[in-house]
Amino acid sequence: MLLKEKLSNWLLKEQDNAIRFLQETVQEASTTGNEAGVQNLIAKKLHDMGLEVDMWHPDGEELARHPYFCASRTNFVSSPNVVGIWRGKGNGRSLVLNGHIDVVPEGDLNQWDDHPYSGKIIDGKLFGRGSTDMKGGNLSLLLAIQALKETGTTLDGDLFFHSVIEEESGGAGTLAAVLRGYTADAAIIPEPTNMKIFPTQQGSMWFKLTIKGKAAHGGTRYEGVSAIEKTALVLEAVKALETKRNKRITDPLYSDIPIPVPINVGRISGGNWPSSVPDTVQLEGRIGVAPDETLEEVKRELEDYLSNIQDEWLLEHPVSVEWFGAQWLPGSIDTDHPLMNTLIKNYEQVKKERPIIEASPWGTDGGLLSQAGNTPSIVFGPGVTAVAHYPNEYIEISKIIEAAEIIALTIYDWCGGSN
C-alpha cells in the first residue's frame, strides 16, 4: 500500500479522536501568562506519541540579552515552552514544525454567539478563540507526526515540533526554542493561510508618535497651537510615506495584496479639556517591514520622514518617535527552495490542484526562525485569516485533515525515511 493511502486511511479513522483533542486545547484559554494548562496537554500528547519531550520555562534574563527579544515581560514562570523531538537515523535533512499556543484575548463577549472557548462544532466547523490562530494548524502538525509514526514510518532526519508561547506579542517563545538549539534545515509554520503557501512574510514594529502644540484658552485659541490640528499633517505624512514605501515593492508574490507593507495608526489620545487648546497628542501604530529591509532601516526612514514635514511649527518642534511593544522580523525562503518544491508537489497530490503562492500580509515567527535560527521557513496552514482575532473564530475540520496529510507527506519526503 502506498504511503499516501496509508496516511489517508489512518487520518479518516483517527479524525474523531483528533477533533476531541482540539476541543480540549481550545477550551484552555491560553492567553498570555495562562499557557501552562494547554502546554501540559500538548506535552502529554507528544509523550503518548512516543516523542522525546522537552518542557521548560524560558529564561527571561537570557532572552533580554538577545537583540531580537521583544515581549511585555521577562518572567515566564507560568508560560512553558514545549518541544517534541523525533530523532532520525542521522542521514537526512532536519525539519522544524513550529506552532504558537498563545491566543489573543476574546474581546467583547456580547459579540460571540457562544462561549469564546466552547470548542463547539457546527456544520463541520469548530468554534472558539484560537481555533484558527492557530490550534487547528498545530493539530495538523500533530496529526502528521502521529500518522507517520503509527503507519510504521522511520525518518532519516530529525524532526522538531515546537509548541511556543508569545507569538502574538513578538516571538519570545520561538526565540527561546532557537536559543535552546531547536533549529533545523527548514521549517513549516501552519498559521491560518487558508491553505495558501506563503514563502515570504512581512515583519512589523509598533511605534508611538508624540505631537506637541502650545496650550491656550479655547476663547483665544489663536494664541496657541493645536496639537490636534498638527496631528492631521502628521497623518497625511504617514499616508504619503506608506505610498512611497509600497511603490518600491515589485515582488510578484505581493501582486494580489493592495498594500504589501501598511502603516496603521491604531490608537490616538490627546487634549485634556474642551475649552483648552491641546498641547499634546499621541499616536500609536504599526509599520510593516518588507522582506528585504532591516528593522533599523525602517525605523530611520519613518523618523527622517516625520522630521521633515514642511510645516513651520513641526520643523521647530519635530514629532517624537518611540519604538515600543511588539515586533516581528520579516522572513523569506526562495520560491524554488527544495522544501517549497516538496510542499507544492504534495499539495497537488492531495488537493488535485495548484496551490496559491503569495506573500503573507502579516508577521509570523518565521522571521525569527530564519534570521535568529538560520532556519528558512514556509507558512502554510488550514485556518482562515479573516476570522483570526475576530468574534466567533472557527476552523473547518476538513481543512485540518487535508493539511495534516500534505504535511505528513512533506515530512517524509524532506527528512527521508522508510515506510
Residues annotated as catalytic (active site), given as ranges: 102, 167
As a dihedral over the C-alpha atoms of residue 129, residue 131, residue 133, residue 138, rounded to 10 degrees, the angle is: 140
Sign of the alpha-carbon dihedral angle for 294, 178, 380, 166: negative
Cell 526562495: give the residue.
334
Spatial separation of the C-alpha atoms in residues 327 and 169, rounded to whole Å: 7
Spatial separation of the C-alpha atoms in residues 116 and 109, rounded to whole Å: 7
* Beta pairing, strands 121-122 & 52-56: unpaired
Helix axes 3-26, 36-48, angle to 10 degrees: 150
Spatial separation of the C-alpha atoms in residues 358 and 135, rounded to whole Å: 23
H or E stretch at 100? strand 95-100
H or E stretch at 126? strand 125-127
CA triplet 269, 272, 278: central angle to 5 degrees?
80
Count how many residues are written for the chain: 419
Cell 500580509: give the residue.
361
List own/partner pairs for 33-37 with CB under 8 A and 24 or more apart: 33/73, 33/78, 33/79, 34/78, 34/79, 35/78, 35/79, 35/80, 35/101, 35/102, 35/165, 36/78, 36/79, 36/80
- Peptide bond preceding 340 in cis form (omega within 30 of 0): no
Provide the residue type at 350 as one letter.
Answer: V
- DSSP type of residue 116: T
Instruction: Judge whether 133 and 103 are in contact, CB under 8 Å.
Output: yes
Spatial separation of the C-alpha atoms in residues 402 and 92, rounded to whole Å: 25
Q: 358 φ, ψ to 5°? A: -155, 180
H or E stretch at 300? helix 295-306
